[in-house]
Amino acid sequence: MTQTLLSKLDRREAVIGIVGMGYVGQPLALRYVNVGFRVLGFDINADRVAELNAGHSSIEHIADADMAAAIARGLTCTTDISRITQADAIIMCVPTPLNKYREPDLSYVTQTCDAIAPYLRAGQVVSLESTTYPGTTEEEILPRVTAGGLVAGQDIYIVYSPEREDPGNADFNTASIPKIVGGHTSACLEVGTALYTAAIDRVVPVSSTKAAEMTKLLENIQRAVNIGLVNEMKIVADRMGIDIFEVVDAAATKPFGFSAYYPGPGLGGHCIPIDPFYLTWKAREYGLHTRFIELAGEINQRMPDYVLGKLIRALNDRSKPLAGVDILFLGISYKKNVDDVRESPAVQLMELVREHGGRVSYSDPHVPRFPQMRAHSFDLVSEEISAARLAAADAVVLTTDHDAFDYGLILEHAVLIIDSRGKYRDAAPNVVRA
């Protein structure tokens, strides 16, 4: 069975099934199609499936022409989960958010496994790419995949390979970002390595699915901790009248032992704000309290409140309450030059302003209409920035520093700018650093 599947992968005769056609699933599907595989893309969103089959991607950095070409070459999207039986490889790219108690929510993973289980057969490999805590593959995937009698490593192959997508990064793409792979057995690892070697330039095997799961957490927790540190340094520097961005730039001239991280209004994206809580939750099962990681998470979570405090004080200095005033947010995606608003601190800050009675609007060239989100709802569309609109706002809050913004125009016409990204380094009477 192992050699048969390996041969199909090597000859590009295997059918690749990708469950979850979002920010991770779509670029992965395009890559497999481009190297010669036939791909089935599964999604529960019928509208998204129809759009993709029509050659349209709602993800900004994936061109419609590329999607249309992929459809022509062999990508088919469907809501029919029974077609899983046609796939030789099943790659799950589904969300792993936190619940309202900041605990891991694996419902998308477990529901996906339960949905595909009746259609699994011998000779398939199942890979989970969703970020999660160490042990998920063994504890949640394995029993569901083998419940029908299939034997892992003999009939069916179970691997974990964390996604490493970075939307908007022009230097790296799905093919060039090295792929970590861990298998439940040695045969699982061999098949998983073959699955990804067919499409990814470099595959890095590790000893187990747990090691692969921990690798992804370490990558993002390292970044979260360093951002938490620089965010706390920003608060201290601000109190002392020091420009933290100047300090970081100066420190970055050291050619060794220092990596530059810049502060902001909080953390965003699907991974970095969430991953630390996955590990701290799992660590408690082992009687461990990850104080250092949790502290960084707490600092980063408080940053929208810090920016809100800066906004309120700046308005008070101008004899204006927050309630009833017009607040224009500049940028609502979680980082510059992308359309991804998942866990965006800008959206969290919009919620806080609305809760305090402020009138909220936004301008973001990458997000023309406020999208449907699990935890947030705004009936808003992006507004064009003009001299008149800037002057009419009681305050503009720079939350995402898109390159497309005309920062000179903003500086000239905005009555009050709350700058959480350090774009305005020179002192100006209408700029408040936050």
Tell me the catalytic residues: 271
Contact yes or no for 75/17 (Cβ under 8 A): no
Look at the alpha carbons of 189, 191, 195, 197 in this order and tell me if their dihedral is positive or negative: positive
Whole-angstrom Cα distance, residue 89 to residue 80? Answer: 16
The owner of tokens 């997508």 is 165
Residue 115 CB neighbour total at 10 angstroms: 16
Contact yes or no for 52/77 (Cβ under 8 A): yes
372 DSSP assignment: P
Question: What b/e string do you get for 281-303 counting C-beta neighbours within 10 Å, with b at 16 or more?
Answer: bbbeeeeeebeebeebbebbbbb
| CA angle, 248 then 249 then 253, to 5° | 110
Query: What is the residue type of 61?
Result: H
Measured between its terminal Cα atoms, the distance across the chain in Å is 59
Whole-angstrom Cα distance, residue 433 to residue 419? Answer: 5
Question: What b/e string do you get for 118-138 counting C-beta neighbours within 10 Å, with b at 16 or more?
Answer: ebbeebbbbbbbbbbbbebbb
Any idea of the CA torsion for 28, 30, 32, 35, to the nearest 10 degrees? -140
Whole-angstrom Cα distance, residue 22 to residue 179? Answer: 19
| CA angle, 407 then 411 then 413, to 5° | 115
347: Cβ contacts below 8 Å, ≥ 6 apart = 332, 341, 373, 376, 378
192 DSSP assignment: H
Total number of residues shown for the chain: 434
